[in-house]
């Protein structure tokens, strides 16, 4: 009897080994997992064969059905008594008719001929005023601050190549008319400290922001947010027309572009035939400084000689809305620096709550 038992044992083990696939045991007829009992602690979610799942009877006890508020279909009975709220489309801003970009280097517009260190210090001192000024422009509704005719879409102080100084600014503004934008710039704290209020020498453009979702990658997700400013050479309209499609394809294929679009001459109306494209702005996530430069140089427009100048900058992203301040996750009750400004705006009557300025929440 003993030799026969050994033979049977060997046959069984061989059969089980052949039917073992990727750590699971399958029956020959139905190809379904056999029951495998594990002896691990109930604190473990994995089983003895190294998988995360087993059809075996584990040592843990299943929770009673009444302990869950969700049934198998995903229905949550606690939500049954929740009030029904009708969501409405986010209203567009009253200032969203035209988009403009102001681009300037401090040294080019400074009326006092200050050196680089003085200009940087001037910016540091004006920073708080700049943020407050932009937030006041953005926070309005039909009852308060309704005369604000400019939305600050984004504000990017430009950094020097060594990241040690602030050297300029890129400012994106929405407004129904160009004269509202110029009035806004005349009173903007940084420019006022540089120019004394005369913004006639500040480069201002209409910006045709490309809306394609493939050019709306999350800022910082795959690299360091970087801005490329490229200005066309004279009489190169034919080169721009010839490279337009390949330029857009190049940006899409990169899967790194956050925002992009051509800069146009700032005419009184956007339909003016004189509002021709004169440059491009591309904001993208760069893997490194070297990658940023290579990305700019390999653009088909650059290769074909469209641009006279190309400048690449890292930048600071200023929160001009006050809506997206990241809280201290370890102390949610902490009084953050941004809270002081928000409380001050609320005290003065500005509509700082989300439901009061819905167009900013996007």
Burial of 165 (0-12, 13-18, 19+ CB in 10 A): middle
Strand partners, 284: 226, 257
Cα torsion 311, 316, 320, 321: sign: positive
pLDDT band at 150; cut points 50, 70, 90: very high
- Return the pLDDT at 136: 94
Mean pLDDT, the chain, whole residue set: 82
Closest by CA to 295, choosing from 261, 254, 262, 263, is 254
Strand partners, 155: 171
Burial of 78 (0-12, 13-18, 19+ CB in 10 A): exposed
Q: Could you report the per-residue pLDDT of 71-81, keeping only the tens digit for each? A: 556 666 666 67
Count CB neighbours of 81 within 10 A: 6
Instruction: Pick 88 or 148 by higher pLDDT.
Output: 148
Q: Could you report the per-residue pLDDT of 95-129, keeping only the tens digit for each? A: 988 999 999 999 999 999 999 999 999 999 999 99
Q: Report the percent of the chain where pLDDT is more than 90.
A: 56
Q: Could you report the per-residue pLDDT of 34-85, keeping only the tens digit for each? A: 333 344 333 434 444 444 444 445 444 555 555 555 555 666 666 667 777 7
Closest by CA to 229, choosing from 135, 138, 296, is 296
Whether 216 has a pLDDT exceeding 50, the answer reads yes
Whether 296 has a pLDDT exceeding 50, the answer reads yes
Average pLDDT over residues 123-144: 92
- Return the pLDDT at 71: 58
Range name among 137-141, 285-289, 358-362 with the lowest pLDDT average: 358-362
Average pLDDT over residues 290-318: 96
Find out whether 243 and 254 touch, Cβ atoms under 8 Å.
no
- Return the pLDDT at 343: 86
DSSP 310-322: EEEEEB----SSS
Residue 360 main-chain phi, psi, to 5 deg: -80, -25
Q: Which residues contact 10 (CB under 8 A, 6 or more apart)?
A: none
Whether 234 has a pLDDT exceeding 90, the answer reads yes
All domains of the chain, ordered by start, with CATH?
Answer: 94-207 (3.30.70.1060), 209-316 (3.30.70.1060)
- Return the pLDDT at 64: 54
Q: How far apart are CA 108 and CA 86, in angstroms?
A: 52
- Return the pLDDT at 354: 80
Average pLDDT over residues 237-255: 96
Please tell me the pTM assigned to this model.
Answer: 0.74
Q: How far apart are CA 55 and CA 102, in angstroms?
A: 64
Burial of 224 (0-12, 13-18, 19+ CB in 10 A): middle
């Amino acid at each position: 009897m003993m030799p026969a038992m050994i033979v049977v044992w060997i046959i069984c083990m061989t059969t089980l080994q052949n039917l073992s696939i990727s750590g699971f045991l399958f029956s020959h007829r139905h190809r379904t997992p056999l029951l495998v009992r594990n002896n691990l602690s109930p604190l473990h979610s994995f089983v003895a064969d190294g998988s995360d799942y087993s059809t075996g009877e584990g040592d843990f006890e299943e929770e009673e059905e009444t302990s869950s508020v969700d049934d198998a279909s995903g229905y949550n009975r606690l939500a049954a008594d929740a009030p029904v709220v009708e969501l409405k489309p986010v209203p567009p801003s009253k200032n969203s008719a035209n988009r403009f970009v102001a681009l300037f280097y401090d040294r080019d517009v400074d009326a006092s001929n200050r050196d680089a260190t003085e200009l940087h210090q001037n910016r540091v001192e004006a920073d708080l005023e700049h943020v407050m000024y932009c937030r006041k422009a953005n926070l309005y509704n039909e009852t308060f601050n309704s005369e604000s005719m400019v939305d600050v879409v984004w504000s990017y102080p430009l950094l020097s190549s060594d990241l040690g100084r602030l050297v300029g600014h890129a400012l994106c503004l929405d407004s129904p008319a160009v004269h509202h934008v110029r009035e806004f710039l005349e009173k903007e704290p940084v420019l006022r400290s540089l120019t004394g209020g005369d913004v006639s020498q500040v480069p201002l453009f209409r910006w045709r922001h490309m809306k394609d979702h493939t050019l709306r990658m999350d800022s910082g997700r795959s690299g360091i947010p970087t801005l490329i400013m490229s200005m066309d050479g004279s009489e190169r309209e034919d080169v721009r027309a010839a490279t337009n499609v390949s330029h857009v394809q190049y940006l899409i294929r990169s899967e790194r572009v956050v925002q992009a679009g051509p800069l146009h001459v700032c005419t009184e109306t956007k339909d003016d035939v004189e509002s021709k494209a004169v440059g491009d702005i591309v904001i993208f996530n760069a893997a490194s400084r070297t990658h940023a430069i290579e990305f700019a140089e390999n653009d088909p427009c650059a290769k074909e000689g469209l641009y006279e100048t190309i400048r690449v900058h890292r930048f600071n992203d200023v929160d001009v809305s006050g809506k997206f301040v990241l809280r201290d996750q370890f102390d949610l009750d902490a009084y953050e620096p941004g809270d002081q400004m928000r409380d001050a705006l609320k005290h003065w009557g500005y509509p700082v709550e989300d439901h009061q300025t819905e167009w900013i929440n996007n």
